[in-house]
Amino acid sequence: MDRVRRAVGAPLAAVVVGLLATALAWHRLGPVTRGTVWAEDGGVFLRERVALGPVDTLLHPYAGYVHLVPRLVVDLGYALPAVRYAQVVSLASCLVVGGVCALVLVLSRDVVRPWPFRLVLAAVPVVLPLAPVETSGNAANLHWYALVLVPWVFAHRSRTTRGAVALAAVAAAAVLTEPQAVLFAPLLLLGWSSRRGSARALPVTVATVAAATVQVVTAVTHPRTVVPGAPAVRDVLAGYLLRPVAGAWDPHLGRVLTAVVERGWWVLLVPVAALALVLVAAVVAAPLRARCVVVAFAVGSGVVWTAAGLANGGAGRHWARPVASMAAIAPQRYDAAAGLLLVSAAVVAAAVLADPDHWSPPARRTGGPGRLLGALAAWTVVTLVVASAVLHVAPDATRRSGGPVWAAQMPAAAEQCRVDPSTEVVRVRTAPWSAPVPCAWLSR
């Protein structure tokens, strides 16, 4: 009976969590944001879908790599009436992130044993304060969410061959969407660590290597244009504190920077020191699998932020010497991406500290005081994550809050096609670009 309950309960819980996460992500966008097409969703991806068709676009290079899942989302939007394109893409993107949350809940159970911590961990992609600003609810930024999922995909030990094959498909889709996912490839070794499970680690490994090969070949044959200049090390570190770290609690990053300018760096360094203690304590106490996951998320967060600075001309931002005018710099997708990984690392670390029976043997010798301090630190971390989610659950300002709303422009676009039958494509405004809309799509 217990086995049947577990077999039914785990998938049901994953479905419920996925649907709730989707609903929360949709709600946090607000009506104008989810009705506005963002960046590549109406630019490169839509334009190439119209020109090349549904098959040739799937692995078509853009910015030095392929974007499988975003292309599929745009395909879905283009298959439906044009007036609904913005909402379909927003909803499909929220569903993908909800699926990520559901998979994290399932795949993390061997590492994150206390269910409240696993639930909070699964919710991180949709409760991060910075998520709706630019990354949530659009296909162009779905690749960042692959980084939250792949550590669990790579580190998981599949119990059945069917599960291993399904996980291989997830791994391939994730790596074919975000090339930085290969950063977590060393976690694949955890799947080979037991003789019984090594055969089931093969499908995920093969899928990951094949997808990574596609990304490498694409990067070599279609190199990304990199903005010249590299940020100084001190600016990378300071920017990491001012953006991803601060954004883990407060999406209004200008307010944080102003506090640093007026009061000094201690307003950030004190909580950062506390977080560092939690991460280090968890790495010391955790068994091998949990230790590797915590380190992977924490290091991955720093690497993602640093890579963004190198690829996008971060040399112009002197974060180590902030001035009041820098408070006007809007939050960006890189801040949220690094923040997602950092908060995930913190929640996994908290779960380790809250579960002393799961500590590595040397750490168990700390006895009662160690258990008490660990539990206190763990529940403090989770309380802060939950409090941040509750404080920022309502829709807030995003990069699409000012529109232009896609559906509102469709009547004029359709009229333009009707008045001039020779017109094949009309331009429709998006945020921040414009989109080519075929008259055939409008009249479909």
* Inside any domain, residue 352: yes
Query: So what's the pLDDT on residue 224?
Result: 84
Query: So what's the pLDDT on residue 349?
Result: 97
* Inside any domain, residue 424: no
Q: What are the beta bridge partners of residue 435?
A: 428
Q: How confident is the model at residue 226 (pLDDT cuts 50, 70, 90)?
A: confident
* Inside any domain, residue 45: no
Q: How confident is the model at residue 6 (pLDDT cuts 50, 70, 90)?
A: low
155-178 tens-digit pLDDT:
998 988 999 999 999 999 999 999
* Inside any domain, residue 336: yes
Mean pLDDT of the 188-208 span: 83
357-390 tens-digit pLDDT:
778 777 666 666 778 888 899 999 999 999 999 9
* Inside any domain, residue 159: no
* Inside any domain, residue 168: no
Q: Does the pLDDT value for residue 343 go beyond 90?
A: yes
* Inside any domain, residue 332: yes
Q: Count of domains in the chain?
A: 1
Mean pLDDT of the chain: 92
Query: So what's the pLDDT on residue 365?
Result: 62
Domain ranges, residue 273: 227-395
